[in-house]
Structure 1
């Protein structure tokens, strides 16, 4: 086995170089916001006031009507994605409206009413947040003028939340569970699992006693359900978490998918098998400040006993993180997340005197493989991840899917993907 090469570290720390642990903990608590999610870290502007705001058990719905005088007539319901804490309208608006393509405006121009579902806690169990989605669906039906069928779906985790909500309503039956939905859609949702590098998860847990936010996010109920491989402690062996196994069993219990609506999905990755350019075994992150010098995080390599990380924060210990039996998933076709970049950016916001300066030599990694987003294959082998697939495949659990023409950011809102969805709305 060949280990990644490391340059000699300047100013290798010794006992007298150590910054006080309490000082570092205080700095992390006051400055660092180390949680991983796509989209802007700070909303650049406030969203316009919605035409309606529905208070739901466990969440909120913000409604933008195509014609306020006509009221709610053709609802398109969108579930929010994964993060920590409550959904925020300003962030949702910026991602959906102020990025490469103004999706909300485009929907309204087509006479569609946009219902954005926000959750009180985005890291809560998908099963819990599905109750918020069910409440939003019932509220939309109660307020709708006419009988135009609903379109219900979501971005990333939101696609799984609404998938389960619709399937459960059909499974339970009865008039109160008549979802009246003609189309279900998902936008880069991890139907077969998502991926956060084990190197990043281990670092999150390693700094837990200094700042628990990153570790708490990785150990949240939603993360445990979404991630294909998970560790709860920095030195754990990666595995499919029990919470994911239980979630998949519960999803299967209610039928796996809603049967009545047509089911479509889009992926922010390609179907051609083209990798995203991230090579395995490359150093993606390194600590530069005295309190973190010696920390190195690497992209995932295949094979046995592969080093993916070396950790050092405050203390002189430098434990190594190794994995076995995992594929080269960081470079796989799919929607990407700037996990290494976010970590470095947030640590670099802390004053240099604290010694947590960092550099992301590779900023991103695959987060939702394309085969997962189109519910086609599992993600546990190189062949499943990288083998090209057809524009239409009966092996997909979706009725129809569409992949981006290039590997791009997870849940990036593009004209290519949005117009494909809108052309299929009921």
Structure 2
């Protein structure tokens, strides 16, 4: 909108200046001609002015109004000022076409007249022409703006019926910024609608499974084994609901990063110490003694932990974490010796609720949100995640953090 206001005021200023200058040139060209007898009158007035001792004396002699105007109220162009300095008289028509003579007397300039009265109504066309031309130029300026606003209004009106329809305006459009904001909003709404469909599908499938098992257990005869199984299913549902709510909160961006100097080496060592006692391959570290970087420690720990748990789930016996510092980036590699990820599956697996396993059993782990959450955290840090082939033979997940 700032661009629109600046463009409008610049246009209006240039239009007024341009029209005023152009019409003034026309006005000068159409000034009334000086009567032939005026030359003799001008010489007589010059002679009488040189002889007069005061404006009052000249006024009584000529029976015309004489005013002193040489006190700075009139700024003469250079050519007119030179003529006055040479003792010549200047003939000037006023706005109402009255005729005046300006004569320099000593350090003063005297205005004599009006010598001939004008016709005030004879120049009304000048003002009418000015406003007509200004209205015409304003209309030409507003026409493309009105066209683009109508296109934007049409897109807003049809959005509910056809949300996939995009809005394209010319790059020079004055509402280009507004259309880009609308386009970002449209894409965000489409993304949220897709997320809602995926979330509904995942919840309907993943919650029905433990609920069905719980109903079956409740129908069975009570025993310690059944109570334990019931407790496991309740815990599975809690984990699932917490994960889904966590992802929804991340998508809604209800939390913001708190950047600070984080020792990534210490963070990796703490994660290895916390996760190694759990079932799965041991985590080996290849990190420098100290690596300080600006990031959000809580979310970076969450991202690295998700990748380590994913690697341990698919590894055959080896998982490693490597920190590598370059000129303006830090790279975090999480490697495993599992089956790896096919190249054509690497983009798809980053989408929400996508899992490479054909089933959704609780033993295969997760609901397909771990990698998506990691990717969102990296986007918040203006970094990125790349999936490749590990030197260990399995998958390699690389997080790249830029320098803030």
> TM over 0.5, yes or no?
no
Work out which structure has the larger RCO, using CA pairs closer than 8 Å and 6 or more positions apart in sequence. Answer: 1
The structure with the largest alpha-carbon Rg is 2
TM-score norm. by structure 1 comes to: 0.23
Higher helix share: 2
